[in-house]
Every structure is written in C-alpha cells, then in structure tokens.
Amino acid sequence: MSSVIDTRTEPSRASLPIDYNKRLMLFSGRANPQLAVDIADKLGVELGPVTLRTFSNGEVYCRYKESIRGADVFIVQSTCGNAETGVTANDSLMELLFMIDAAVGASAHRVIAVTPWFGYSRQDKKSAPREPISARLVARMLEAAGADRVLTMDLHAGQVQGFFQIPVDHMTALPMLAQYFRDLRLPEELVAVAPDTGRTRLASKFAEMIGGDLAVLQKDRPAHNVAHITNVIGDVDGKCAVMTDDMVDTAGTLVAGAQFLKERGAKKVYACATHGIFSPPAIERIEESPLDSVIVTDTVPIDPLTKPDNMTVLTVAPLLAETITNVFADDSVSAIFGGDTQLF
C-alpha cells in the first residue's frame, strides 16, 4: 500500500480567514473601585458600565450594561471587604464569581480575573485534622465560573498557583517597595528583617534590592492572630530595620517584632507589605507601636479617615496596567520583572 503525500501550496479551504480586531474591556467590582479607576486611567480606557447591587436578603446581583461579545474582559476585584461600598470579603468573592459567569454567558472571548489580593490564600494547607484547604476551593470556584486566567499579586505562598489548572500571572510589589526605601536615602545602615523563618527567602531577596543585611525573627503562634517573638537571628544594633511581609492583618506580628527590634538596639523600624488588610485592632496597634513607618500598597482599599500619619500607601495601578496590556497583547508577563519573578 502506497502513502499519498499532499504537496499543494495553496491556502487550505478548511478555514475561513476573518479580520478580527481584539477589544480590551475593563470592569470593576465593588471591593476596590478606586484601584480599577487608576488602572483604567493608566490604560487610557474607561471602565465598562456594570450594575452591581446587594438585595435586601444579602444576595448579590450583577449585569453588564453593554455588549461584551468577543472582548477580552478584565475584572478587577480583590476578594476583600470595603466599608464604603458595603461589601464583605465573601460578598466580593461571590460578586467576582457572578461577574465571571455573566461575562462567559455574554460570549466574552476571554475572561481574566484581576484579583490583586487573593482571599483565603493563607488557608493553603491543613494545619489540623478536618480543616478545609480553602485556597484550593476558591481556585476551583473561579475555574468553575469560567475564568480563563487569573492575575494576582504576592500570594501568601507561591504554591497556591498549583491549585489552578488555568494560567496564573503572579506579580509582586517587592521591587516597588525596595525602590521606595532606596529613594529615602536613609543615613542608617539597612537590614531587611523576615517576620518568621518562612519569609527568609523573600527577605533575603529584599535585602539584595535595598543593599542591606538580613535578619530573621523567630516567633511562636500560641493562637490565631497571636504572635510571640522569641529571638532575632542577625545584627540589628544601630541599624534601620525594615520588616517585610506579604500582608498585614491584625498587625500583631509587626508590633511585637518592632518592639523586639527596638529592644535589641535597632535605631529605626520600618514595616512594608503588599496587602494592608488591617483587621481591627490593627490601626490602633500601629498608632501605639514603636514603628517609625508602615508602607503598603492599594491592593486592598485603605480608609483615608482612619489611616495613621505614619502610613504610606503606594499604588500598584501602573504595574497591573502594564501586566494587563501584556496579557491582552499576548506578550511576555515575566519580562516586566526581567524574567525574575521567583521570589517565594
């Protein structure tokens, strides 16, 4: 039996060439609308119109107010609460799921969930019997809703990406935070301080970026949101200590660490983190603490009325806008950091 080889060079008639103009559409949930506005401004687009409300029984509703057929739809929604818009963290998660589902049902070409703060990311393993792995469940929910891609920042553990079977773009604010401290030109010698041994690699990278040494705090957690500092590995005497972490929740670790570092001779103590959750009584703790300054980003909305004077908020809008542009254009995302995104 002889084989037949088709040597035709004409274009195949099995496909229909179509002139397709890609469209980028940006929408915002109610978790962090100001960040979405800032991203839209950087992109040079307007936020798409969408109706979002919570019914009297607590159920969430959404509807896109114009056609999104064939568009790449980017939905900006950190899964956090927002007192100004009246949504809780769980409201934000459900709202994001409904917005994804509505976009899929409206024939969007691609649906990308832009979740700078990925809620439940701390619950990435079983710490005790009969506990859920909540981060994995949230990942499955986003996939089940129909998200084609997830864009997030500084996950509590980089391995959370492994819970997804869709692409995850994991961005980091670490270079931005490091640049902030370089620009301060502090006269004291800098030392990057890891709040626990699990953050040593992150703090080591941060120390390289700011041109300082490395120190590591050792702590116990006798209960949830309770931190007890027992020791510091490294020299902090007479130096400016910069504690770095992915997030600040109740600020128990920061305040205890700052007090311990000052007792060990640190001249100044700064703290920086990507996500400023600031669950009560975090603000009161920071105001009464020996911390000289706290630097966070706007992945989670910060109430300007309660923001302490010694707190600085940096915006991640330019970074997210650039990432969204590259995703939309099918360009490299890792190129934004020169290919160096493995910080965890």
Q: Which of 65, 205, 219, 239 is catalytic?
A: 219
Q: Is the peptide bond before 280 cis (omega within 30 degrees of 0)?
A: no
Dist. CA 261–CA 268, nearest whole Å:
9
Task: Give the burial string for 42-78 (b: 16+ CB within 10 Å, else e).
Answer: bbebebbebebebeeeeebebebeeebeebbbbbbbb
**335-341 — which CB contacts under 8 Å span 24+ positions?**
336/171, 337/172, 337/175, 341/170, 341/171, 341/172
Judge whether 255 and 227 are in contact, CB under 8 Å: no
The angle at the Cα of 299, spanning 137 to 53, to the nearest 5 degrees, equals 70
Task: Collapse the DSSP code of 159 into the 3-class scheme (helix H, G, I; strand E, B; otherwise coil) and give the result.
Answer: helix
User: Is 219 a catalytic site residue?
Assistant: yes
12: DSSP letter: P
Conformation bin of residue 146: beta by default, left when phi > 0, alpha when psi is -120 to 50: left
Dist. CA 334–CA 291, nearest whole Å:
34
End-to-end Cα distance, the chain = 58
In sequence order, which ranges of the chain are alpha helices (DSSP H)?
Answer: 33-43, 89-105, 134-145, 174-184, 200-210, 252-263, 282-287, 317-328
> Catalytic residues, which ones?
219
